[in-house]
Structures are given as C-alpha cells and as structure tokens.
Structure 1
Amino acid sequence: MPEEATTKGRVVLVTGGSRGIGRAITERFVAAGHRVAATYRSGDVPEGALPVRCEITDPEQVEQAFTTVEAELGPVEVLVANAGITRDTLLLRMSEQDFADVVETNLTASFRLARRASRAMMRARFGRMVFISSVVGQLGSAGQVNYAASKAGLVGMARSITRELGSRGITANVVAPGFISTDMTAALPPEQVSEYQARIPAGRLGGVEEVAAAVEFLAGDQAGYVSGAIIPVDGGLGMGH
C-alpha cells in the first residue's frame, strides 16, 4: 500500500472496550479520528465510541453486533479482539468448566469475531486483525493452564489467518502484554506487585496506553507488511519466547 495512504476514518471494532486495556485502545482510536465501536457487557464505553452490548460467547449476539456496527459506521476494517476472562486455579483443582469457559471466551470467541470480520475485509481487500494475547501464552504460568492455553492459541490463529488471507491485504497479529497497571493489579497487595516488578527487566509495570500504542501501529497502513507477528509489550519479561 502506498505510503501516502491513510487509515484515518477506518471503522474499528474493539471487544471489551469498557475498561482496562480495551478502554485505552478504544480511546486511542477515537482520538486518532477513526469511527470506533466497542463491545461491553457492563459499565460504559469511552465517549465518541459506538457502544455495542455483546456477549462474545453467543454467536447470535456477535452477528447482531457486526450488523449494528455495519449499519451505524460501515463494514469493520480493523478488529481488535481484546475481551477475555480468567479462571485461575491449580491444575488438579481446575474443573472442565473452568477450562472450557476461558477457552470459549478468549479463543473460540476470537475465532468467531475473525470469521465474521473477514467477510467485508476480503471484499475490500484490506483488513487488520489484532488479537490481545499475554506474555503467559509463551511463558506459561502456574495456576493458569486454561488462560495460557487460550492465549497461546491466538498465536496459531493469527498465523493461520495470515497464510489464508495475506494475499487479500489482510494482516493478523498478536499483541502480548506483560504485567500492566489496571484496576485488577491496583487491587493486589503491594508485596505481590513488588514481586512482579522484580521479575521484569524494565523494573515496572506497563501502562495500558503502551499496549494501545502497539495496537494502533499494527492497525495502520505502515504495518501492512507486518503479519503473523507477536508484539510483546512486557518490559522484557518474555524475551526469547
């Protein structure tokens, strides 16, 4: 794609846009002048974004969400699959439901979103898919067999989509955040946060805006030759993986 091309005004769909990393991503795309829709289950989405209530584990709700976005903003050109859950517990205590729920939300729903988004992207011969994974998808993490498996699966998904759809101008990439300052980490005991920081070469937790910046880059025309990649935003924690 020519350098002078611009993604200003692209239609962007962010899942899980009401809080944390998803909210920061939504805010960044809105600020950049894109037409942005954000799904949510509770709370609200940033001002300037089209709120779309959606349970991404429900195929009918996903279909309705895309129909709503297409009617209000136009076909989705940039998909950011961010919504996810955790059900942390040790392997011997993890129920099949704990495992299935996390994989369904984090991995299967991402497949569902990508499949639906690909229709318009293929017609337009342009598309950007960004999957929000995690450093534990490559490192592993005790008590997170389900979460790590679901986040690792996003890598295989993005790379397979790249091989299938790369010739149509569609890219699929993975952003893998490390320990990021969110409401969840703010609730942790200070000694636990200090333990995390000691493991991170950068010596600090990351900010949601740093993850959002990586996503914005991958969604842009300048990243048209970047596909099937894992972009770590983890302060060096997962380097080499």
Structure 2
Amino acid sequence: MLQSFTLPVAAITSKLGSPVSPKTVKSSTPGSNPSLARDIWAVWEKDFRSEWRSRAALNAVSLFSVAAPVALGFSLFKQKVGPEVLGGLLWTTLFFAALLGLPRAFVKEEETGTAALLRLHFSSDAVLWGKVLGQLALLAVTQLGAIPIFVLLLGTKVTSPLLLLLCVILGDVGLAVSSSVLGAMAAQARSKGALFSAMAAPLMLPLLVSLSFATGFAFGAKVDPWPGVQVVAAFDLVLLAAAWMTFDFVWS
C-alpha cells in the first residue's frame, strides 16, 4: 500500500521540504500571502496529476453530461420545449453529472490514505481552495463539451451568450464550493455517495432553481433574469464565507 502513496507524497514534499502541523498554520484568505498561494497550487497540482492518470471523475462526469442530452434529444425530438424548461433541464443534467464526480476529490484521499498527509503538510485553507480550483477545472472541462451538445441536440437557440456564461460561472462556483465541503464531510462515512447526495440535494436546490430561472432567459424566455442572477451570486457569497469559516473544523 505504501507504494501507492509515492507520487502523492512526492508531489507534496516537493512543495514543502518539512512537515508543518496544521495547528500552527493560521487561517487566511486565498492570495493573502505567497506561502498559502503556493500551497493551494500544490494541492491543485497533485489532484490534477492524479486525475490525469486515472480520469475516474472526468470519465464519469463527461459520460453523464453527454448521455443525458442525447437521451433528452431523442425523447423530445420534434417537440417544442419552452426556454424556461430548457434552463431547468440543463442544470438538472449538470447537477447530476457533478454528483458523479465531484465527491471523489476527498473520497480518493481517504481511500488511498493521503488525507493524513494533506493534514500534516497543508493548512485547511490550502486544502479547501486547492480542491475548489480542482472542482472548477473539472466542471469547466466537461461543460465545454456538454453545453454545446445540449444546445445542438435539443435545437435551442442561445439568445444571450454572455448571460449563459455568467450563469455557468456562478453555478460552477456554487457547485465547487458546496461539493468540496460536503465531500470532506462524507468522505469518512461508510455510504459516502448516498450521504453526499442526501446533503447536496437540499443545499443546492435554491441554487438550481435560481440558475434554471436565469438560464431560461439566455434561451429566449421573456422574463427578467437578474433576480435569479442576484440570488445565485448572494448564495455563492454565503457558501464561500461558510466554507472558509467552517472547513477547518470539518477537515480536522
């Protein structure tokens, strides 16, 4: 088993020469000091290399992100679907795709035993923001293919590309932050996937409803999208603040 830790340990120890107890590292915000920024980058780089080798989360999220629009496209063939419904279908697809891959960020650390190494070498803030960046990268890569396929197969028109981009960015931030905190909570449970889904669904419901409402305008709905955008932005700020204040307790 120790051999499986070689690469994660090398990635970590190459960034920090000597172990640092997490109790001695003061919590700080991302970018407030160069050391924290380097640690965040080290955590992200370790996750990127690990995912690049296995592609477990990427394959799971990509497969569902493509399969769901294909199934919807065939089932709704030649049927007129309102833009409000299309917004809901898009975010339902992206949400359930995210449930397949995002929890892996912390589950794999517990399965391989590298969670203890992260606690030893990095502060909780570095782990949190490094994982969030990794989640954002995973979502961005899969959505670059999933959203165009959704638009193409369902025959919809994007009347406001900038609004759609804004909704995707805000939605991804909410998904990445909430999944990071919930993933850390569920990683040590016996039924990791079930617990994560049970916690994520009610927490992310306001986010998904607001995103569906705002995205409907990007597809041509005659509604004011900005109340939905404001709700999503406020929700993201609350999630960011809550994650920053509570993750140290959750992680340790």
Query: Which of the pair is proportionally richer in strand?
Result: 1
Greater length-normalized contact order (CA 8 Å, ≥ 6 residues apart): 2
Per the normalisation by structure 2, the TM-score is 0.35
